[in-house]
Amino acid sequence: MTSGQAAAAATDTAGDGHRPVDLGYDAVLLAGFGGPEGPDDVMPFLRNVTRGRGIPDERLVEVSHHYRALGGVSPINEQNRRLRRALEQELQRRGVELPVLWGNRNWAPYLPDVLTDAAAAGHRRLLGLATSAYSSYSSCRQYREDFGMALASTGLVGRVGIDKIRPYYDQPGFLAPFVDGTAAALRDALSEGLTPADVEIVFTTHSIPDAMADVSGSATLGDHRPGGAYVTQHLAAAESVIGQVTAELADLGGTSLSWQLAYQSRSGPPSQPWLEPDINDVLTSVHGAGRRGVVVVPIGFVSDHVEVVWDLDHEAAETAEELGLFFRRVTTPGTDPRFLAALADLVQERLTGDPQPAGVRSTGLPLPARPDFCAPECCVNLRAVRPTTAAVDSAADWPRTEFPGCDVDPARLAASGIGT
């Protein structure tokens, strides 16, 4: 037991005689997307990603060329190996002796294999951490479903539990690397003779179907703008980055920065509406509006994986070159120490008591923090009902009462407002 857990078990935070639940996590489970490790892996990987998702074959063939052009190897697995090591070290440095395990949704090491090994090693209560910072089916529930299905397929339901760290797009340590990168890119533009007014800052994230965006989060969590939580969260994160960059560039005498949010990596059939505008169309329109340069900020992503490297550094950079636009792409958090510190903070907040409802945890943005447990209407799967973990509606998936002192009563969760 860590010192944080011991303290939690002894504190009556509510002052009502109720002792906080000691959730007793014995490992962190870093959950990655997964990517191919060589040319022969590319098509099997793409089939894993798109199974049952209605993505046209032409799109798979096209995307396979992106991977092959990069040698058939996605950098994402190596990035997650580094993140795993660095997070484990950061936790150790803080006196938190939690191993960090790593499993993927779409490629080896597959989650069911990792869970089988974890159970054999005696782990019983895992705190999941997705390499995805926002709310939506693709970025939250799909990870939780893969936890639930991996527990089911390995026969570990009831023996191993997996909760999940809340979406962390609102953490200053996640946004800080984007702030620095954007300010540095703007200074580069100025050193090449552009003025701030010549440059458009274009934030990018993964496009998702409009229908998925509309049900990405509940309307009671500050999701006032069209597109649900997914779009709202990206706009809030981008606004914060712009505010911080403006402050960092104060020595330039007060500049007003022009920015917008664009989408990348669309993959559905043309008949299906996905979030727009596409980054390449935005480059054309800002050029038409008289801008001479762009700074592209992939605020939707945690590491520089293939969707960033191919879709931005190859495709968008090429579009910009054709238009004669100055182009800089800002790097993602990766293993930036501030991002690692934010993730370690999020692990530690879960070691010291009950799951919390929306809005209670810390946030660096003018939106309430997401809940520790997702509500049924959060990050909805429009296609199927699957077993999940880390949600109010999946609290019954594994009988917490089997673990003395660790039961989370669904009625109490509901009463606490978690997921409303």
Ligand X SMILES: CC1=C(CCC(=O)O)c2cc3nc(cc4[nH]c(cc5[nH]c(cc1n2)c(C)c5CCC(=O)O)c(CCC(=O)O)c4C)C(CCC(=O)O)=C3C
- Which amino acid does the sequence have at 70? L
Which strand (E) or helix (H) includes residue 201?
strand 199-206
Q: How far apart are CA 369 and CA 383, in angstroms?
A: 27
Does 307 count as an annotated binding residue?
A: yes
Q: Which is nearer to ligand X, 80 or 352 (CB)?
A: 80
Q: How far apart are CA 110 and CA 113, in angstroms?
A: 6
Q: Which is nearer to Fe ion, 378 or 392 (CB)?
A: 378
Contact set for Fe ion, span 90-149 (CB under 5 A): 135, 140
59 binds ligand X (CB under 6 A): yes
- The full length of the chain comes to 420
Binning the chain into helix, strand and coil, the percentages to the nearest 5 are 45, 15, 40
Tokens representing residue 344 in the block: 């370690």
Residue pair 160/115 in contact by the 8 Å Cβ criterion: yes
Question: Which range, of 49-57, 154-162, 279-287, 362-370, touches ligand X by CB under 6 A?
Answer: 49-57
To ligand X, the closest distance from the beta carbon of 291 in angstroms equals 27
Does 265 count as an annotated binding residue?
A: no
156 Cβ contact list (under 8 Å, min separation 6): 115, 116, 119, 150
- No. of helices (H) and no. of strands (E), the chain: 14, 8
Does 234 count as an annotated binding residue?
A: no
Three-state secondary structure along 322-371? HHCCEEEECCCCCCCHHHHHHHHHHHHHCCCCCCCCCCCCCCCCCCCCCC
Of 379, 390, 395, 413, the one binding Fe ion (CB under 5 A) is: 379
**C-alpha torsion sign, points 283, 135, 34, 351:** positive
50 binds ligand X (CB under 6 A): yes
Q: In what order do the strands lie in the sheet with 27-32?
A: 100-104, 27-32, 125-130, 161-164
Task: Give the SS3 label for residue 138.
Answer: helix
370 binds ligand X (CB under 6 A): no
63 binds ligand X (CB under 6 A): yes
132 binds ligand X (CB under 6 A): yes
Site string for ligand X, 189-228 (x = CB under 6 A): -----------------x-x--------------------
374 binds Fe ion (CB under 5 A): yes
Question: Which range, of 47-55, 315-323, 350-358, 387-395, touches ligand X by CB under 6 A?
Answer: 47-55
- 316 closest CA partner among 187, 200, 196, 186: 200
53 binds ligand X (CB under 6 A): yes
Residue pair 227/214 in contact by the 8 Å Cβ criterion: yes
378 binds Fe ion (CB under 5 A): yes
Does 143 count as an annotated binding residue?
A: yes
73 binds ligand X (CB under 6 A): no
Q: Which is nearer to Fe ion, 140 or 283 (CB)?
A: 140
To ligand X, the closest distance from the beta carbon of 138 in angstroms equals 4
Of 9, 55, 360, 406, the one binding ligand X (CB under 6 A) is: 55
To Fe ion, the closest distance from the beta carbon of 241 in angstroms equals 23
Contact set for ligand X, span 13-42 (CB under 6 A): 33, 35
Binding-site residues from annotation for Fe(2+): 206, 307
Residues engaged in binding Fe ion (CB under 5 A): 135, 140, 374, 378-379
Binding-site residues from annotation for Fe-coproporphyrin III: 74, 143
Residues engaged in binding ligand X (CB under 6 A): 33, 35, 46, 49-50, 53, 55, 59, 63, 74, 76, 131-132, 136, 138-139, 206, 208, 265, 267, 300, 305-307
